[in-house]
Amino acid sequence: MTTTQQNTVTDTDTETVIGDARERIDALDDRIIGLVQERIAVSAVVQDARIASGGRRVHLSREMEIIAHYSDALGKPGTALAMTLLELSRGRV
Ligand SMILES: O=C(O)C(=O)C[C@]1(C(=O)O)C=C[C@@H](O)C=C1
């Protein structure tokens, strides 16, 4: 096998690895989006119940717990992710 042929095989393998991994990423992203949509719906149940009983939409101490949970698990970007999830779930404050 010549060097050029070896490189061709290697390039094909690389494309297969990348293509397969990207399919898995796309499938994971679909599941993550589904989970985010589910989170938004469950959060609405909590907010609606609180508002119906005379409370407010926003519960800051609970938000601090959620942000801490994400930042403990994922570091500083976890904070941004938690804040994005909260904004998606209760709108902008
Ligand atoms: O856990 C609550 O009390 C909620 O209302 C849910 C939720 C959330 O999406 O996590 C939404 C708004 C509140 O400010 C805090 C948290």
**Which tokens in the block code for residue 17?**
């690895």
The Cα–Cα gap between 26 and 72 comes to 26
The H-assigned helical ranges of 1-93 are 3-52, 60-74, 76-90
What range does the domain containing 23 cover?
3-90
90 lines ligand 1 (CB under 6 A): yes
Let me know: does 11 contact 58? Beta carbons within 8 Å.
no
Distance CA 89, CA 45 (A): 10
Percentage of the chain exceeding pLDDT 70: 91
What's the ipTM? Answer: 0.99
* Among 70, 92, 90, CA closest to 79: 70
Work out the average pLDDT over 40-64.
98
Mutate which of 58, 65, 90 for ligand 1? The one with the most ligand atoms within 8 Å of its CB, which is 90
* CATH number for position 37: 1.20.59.10
Q: Is it the case that residue 1 has pLDDT exceeding 60?
A: no
* Cα of 58 from ligand 1 centre, angstroms: 6
Q: Looking at residues 30-51, what average pLDDT do you find?
A: 98
pLDDT at 8: 72
What would the mean pLDDT of 7-27 be, rounded to a whole number?
93
pLDDT band at 7 (very low <50, low <70, confident <90, very high): low
Q: The tokens 């976890």 sit on which residue?
A: 78
How many structural domains are present in the chain?
1
